[in-house]
A and B are shown apart, each in its own frame.
Chain A
Amino acid sequence: MIDFFWTSGHLGWGVFTLAAFTMLWILVLDVLWRVTRIRFVRLLAAMCVAWVSAGVVIVLVAGINAS
């Protein structure tokens, strides 16, 4: 698990990918909220589901690589 947070003198790719992905997701959410007519709560729910799914994948991939 240490590889997830820190590895070989730099941030672990797991935590880096998760952090970068999360911030990108916020930027995408901002843009989508402005260009679509979907209700904000629905958009937020959909983005959260997608973010959790992608986060699980990232954690799993990082875990597989670490093992």
Chain B
Amino acid sequence: MTTARAAGILLAKELRLEFRARELLNATIVFALVVVVLFSFSFDPTSAESRRLGPGLLWIAFLFAGSLMLHPSFGREQANQTLDALRMAPISPFALLLGKMLANFLFLSAAEVILVPVFAVLYNVSLAGVVGRLAIVLAMGTAGLCITGTVFSAIAAHARMRELLLPLLLLPILAPLLIAAVEATASLFAERPVIDTTWLAILAGFDIVFLTASWLLSDFLLEE
């Protein structure tokens, strides 16, 4: 079976699980909303300030929500040793990883689709005219978050205190992604929105470097 086909089947399995339980997406969205609301209490920004602070807040909320949401990706395979069953399947380990990355990407993107308009209303940011460009920035940032996050979820699943460990491993490595995504989003929220290709290049670099690394290291990551 080709890697793409195997990854597609695993993606369908992850989506089916989520549609039946509907636990991950709801919790993620509400958690991100809580971060946005708490931020407003702790800084009480004026509308000019929220234009400046908004992109950072938005990405911090996504990163925190993502680092919590990604844990069950491999964590819930532990309960009934289903990961062992998946490993016995005649597919490449990278297909297994890729299926989960795609599923996480779709979950987090779905959460963002709901969160970004809410954020725009709460912080008086106009999205008119930048939706398409914003989608590119969001997609590239979310991809990097899900690539590294899925790999680290597989690492953390074998450790003690894994819920705490995943954000600890994941958040520092996302520093370049956070800077690039925030700056790219900020230039879209500016008075005269522009898309900054320098930051898109950093985001693309992040995605490519870590996707390649996960492809090369997937055999070691998922070995028994």
A-B complex is real:
no
- Enumerate chain B interface residues (CB-CB to A < 8 A): none
